[in-house]
Amino acid sequence: MIILKKFGEYIEESYQHKLSSDILHHARRALLDWHAALICGANSATAAMLISSYQDLKVQHDY
């Protein structure tokens, strides 16, 4: 939990600083890249197993 706390503190402190346009550009590209990978892998066998596992949990715990 210490790592998550430190990461949370870092994020909280970052709100006090204005991010440069270069950093924002790279952050946007990373977000787009993540979504592209998500969409491309949506029909994979691994994704099907994850969806099935989540549905099993949902039924067991009534989420």
Residues 17-60: tens digit of each pLDDT:
888 999 999 999 999 999 998 888 888 998 888 888 888 777 66
What average pLDDT does the segment 1-12 reach?
Answer: 87
Six-digit token pair at 46?
Answer: 């691994």
Chain-centre distance for alpha carbon 55:
20
Instruction: Tell me the pTM.
Output: 0.49
Q: Which two tokens stand for residue 21?
A: 């346009």
Domain segments of the chain as ranges: 20-63
